[in-house]
């Protein structure tokens, strides 16, 4: 028996009423696995409709994995409308960044990826955050089904901020961002995020997920930064189903042990 997670899944809006049954039939009924599903942020399915569809398909809500909290930017709006919706403080910091006359490199090349990883490592050391899936994982996935875009903000040969976005069809998502100490005085993080959002429209996206909001309180600064974009809230819960076999309690006990060890290592 295995624990199978489908977290976020594809970026394009799924049909929650149609998708779970075949998965459950194959993975749970036929093969006896535990199956956990969380809809993608782009789905924006009404919570009551989502709950009814999953329960009808044999799933139930679970706290074994984290719900996905984020916000969705509507890129069919003009730049003026997007900026007007920003929190006043966010907009003020963005104007500081725009006035700094910083340069921006964009694309998806080995050089841009390397420059981003340097910025990311610097930011990680500064803030002390931990990630389950590093940027290199997504770099390996890039291809026809997942296009990546890397943006680097710099001045006088010094990189000040960097971001990585992913795109599937008309859906975009902010995968990673990094603003080390050198970029803060220029409000480089605000300029970076604004350019990431507006450039996503240029690349064909009509919606853009800002990449998750931590509601645990462990990173209040970043959560506040993202809330002030005033996008449409995303709150996707996790649903689970299992075949009820004798191995299920053992799997849950092992997963509980893994969670306790992780929390001790990353309090």
State percent of the chain over pLDDT 70: 79
Mean local confidence (pLDDT), 162-170? 95
Q: Give 6-63 pLDDT, tens digit per residue.
A: 444 433 344 544 445 666 666 666 666 778 888 887 887 788 888 888 888 788 898 8
**In this predicted model, which residue has the larger pLDDT, 243 or 6?**
243
Give the model's pLDDT for residue 42: 81
What confidence tier does 258 reach under pLDDT thresholds 50, 70, 90? low
Q: What are phi and psi of 176, to 5 degrees?
A: -145, 150
Average pLDDT over residues 114-141: 87
Give the architecture (CATH level 2) of 70-233: 3-Layer(aba) Sandwich (3.40)
Q: For the chain, percent helix, then strand, then coil, each to nearest 5?
A: 40, 25, 35
Between CA 107 and CA 111 the distance in angstroms is 10
Mean pLDDT of the chain, nearest integer: 84
What is the reported pLDDT for 60? 87
User: 39, 69 in Cβ contact below 8 A?
Assistant: no
User: Within 13 Å and on the Cβ side, how many CA atoms surround 219?
Assistant: 14
- Which residues are within 8 A (CB) of 180 and not within 5 positions of it... i.e. 6 or more apart? 119, 122, 123, 126, 160, 161
Q: Is the pLDDT of residue 128 over 70?
A: no
Q: pLDDT per residue over 185-236, tens digit each?
A: 999 999 999 999 999 999 999 999 999 998 887 778 899 999 999 999 998 8
Longest distance between any two alpha carbons in the chain, whole Å: 64
Ranges 28-37, 113-122, 164-173: which has the least confidence: 28-37
User: How much is the pLDDT for 57?
Assistant: 79
Q: Span 129-134, mean pLDDT?
A: 76
Query: What's the rounded Cα separation, in Å, for the pair 135 and 212?
Result: 15
DSSP E strands: which ranges in the chain? 3-7, 34-38, 60-61, 68-74, 103-107, 147-155, 158-168, 171-178, 207-209, 232-236, 238-241
| Domain segments of the chain as ranges | 3-67+237-265, 70-233
Instruction: Return d(Cα 219, Cα 126) in angstroms, integer.
Output: 13
Tell me, what's the pLDDT at 19? 47
**What is the tens place of the pLDDT at every residue in 77-99?**
999 999 999 999 999 999 999 99
**Residues 129, 134, 139, 143, Cα dihedral to 10°:** -110
């Amino acid at each position: 028996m295995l624990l199978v997670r489908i977290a976020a899944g594809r970026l394009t809006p799924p049909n929650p009423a149609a998708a779970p049954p075949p998965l459950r039939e194959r993975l749970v009924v036929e093969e006896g696995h535990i199956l956990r599903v969380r809809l993608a942020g782009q789905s924006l399915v009404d919570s009551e409709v989502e709950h009814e569809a999953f329960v009808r398909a044999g799933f139930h809500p679970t706290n074994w994995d984290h719900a996905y909290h984020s916000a969705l930017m509507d890129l069919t709006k003009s730049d003026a409308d997007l900026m007007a919706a920003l929190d006043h403080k966010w907009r003020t910091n963005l104007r500081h960044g725009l006035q700094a006359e910083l340069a921006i490199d964009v694309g998806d090349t080995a050089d841009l990826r390397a420059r981003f990883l340097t910025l990311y490592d610097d930011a990680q050391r500064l803030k002390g955050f931990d990630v389950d899936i590093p940027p290199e994982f997504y770099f390996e996935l890039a291809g026809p089904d997942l296009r990546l875009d890397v943006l680097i903000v710099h001045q006088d040969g010094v990189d000040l901020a960097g971001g990585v976005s992913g795109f599937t069809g008309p859906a975009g998502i902010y995968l990673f961002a990094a603003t080390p100490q050198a970029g803060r005085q220029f409000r480089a993080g605000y300029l970076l995020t604004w350019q990431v959002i507006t450039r996503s429209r240029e690349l064909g996206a009509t919606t853009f997920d800002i990449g998750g909001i931590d509601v645990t309180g462990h990173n209040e600064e970043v959560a506040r930064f993202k809330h002030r974009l005033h996008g449409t809230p995303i709150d996707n819960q996790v649903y689970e189903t299992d075949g009820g076999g004798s191995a299920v309690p053992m799997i849950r006990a092992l997963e509980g042990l893994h969670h306790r060890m992780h929390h001790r290592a990353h309090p």
